[in-house]
Amino acid sequence: MSLGDSATPLGRVKGLGASGHGGGHWLEERFTSVMLVFLSLWLIFSLAMLPVFDQMTFTQWLRAPSGGIPMALLIVFAFRHGVDGLKVAVDDYVHEEGTRIGIHYFLNMAGIAGVSIALFALGKIVFGAAA
């Protein structure tokens, strides 16, 4: 593991860390977390401002761009951040490389399945016939 003194700072961290991805995964987890600070507060405050909680009210809220767009972003970033976080825990506790990669594949696929289901449903709410 000697890259010599000529290695760039990026060259030194590439491939390192429990995930084998150096700093990229770490940075992505921070970026998605900052996005989720705004998006989750948006969700809480806009729910609090709805007059009642029923299917009609929620549907109208999401059909407006001010509801549907942040909700789509929330779904995408929440699944991304959640899968990233679970991978970090797996990297810490699963030391057998094949098993580790297998679990990462499973987490990626489960995350893609979840985000697809949630976005499809949101699309149906937003673009479907008005209730």
The yes or no reply on residue 77 touching another protein (CB under 8 A) is: no
55-59 CB contacts, 8 Å cutoff, 24+ apart:
55/131, 56/131, 59/125, 59/131
For position 122 contacting another protein by CB under 8 A, the verdict is: yes
| The one-letter amino acid at 92 | D
Length reported for the chain: 131
User: Nearer to another protein by C-beta: 11 or 20?
Assistant: 20
Using an 8 Å Cβ cutoff, are 119 and 80 in contact? no
Quick one: 5 or 52, whose CB is closer to another protein?
A: 52
- What residues between 92 and 121 interact with another protein by CB under 8 A? 95, 114, 117-118, 120-121
Tokens standing for 8? Answer: 């760039």
CB 75 within 8 A of CB 68: no
Residue ranges in 25-64 that form contacts with another protein under rule CB under 8 A:
30, 33-34, 37, 40, 44, 47-48, 50-53, 55, 58-59, 62
Spatial CA neighbour of 46 closest among 75, 76, 77, 67: 67
Nearer to another protein, 21 or 59 (CB): 59
Interface with another protein by CB under 8 A: which residues? 30, 33-34, 37, 40, 44, 47-48, 50-53, 55, 58-59, 62, 75, 78-79, 82-83, 85-86, 89, 95, 114, 117-118, 120-122, 124-125, 128
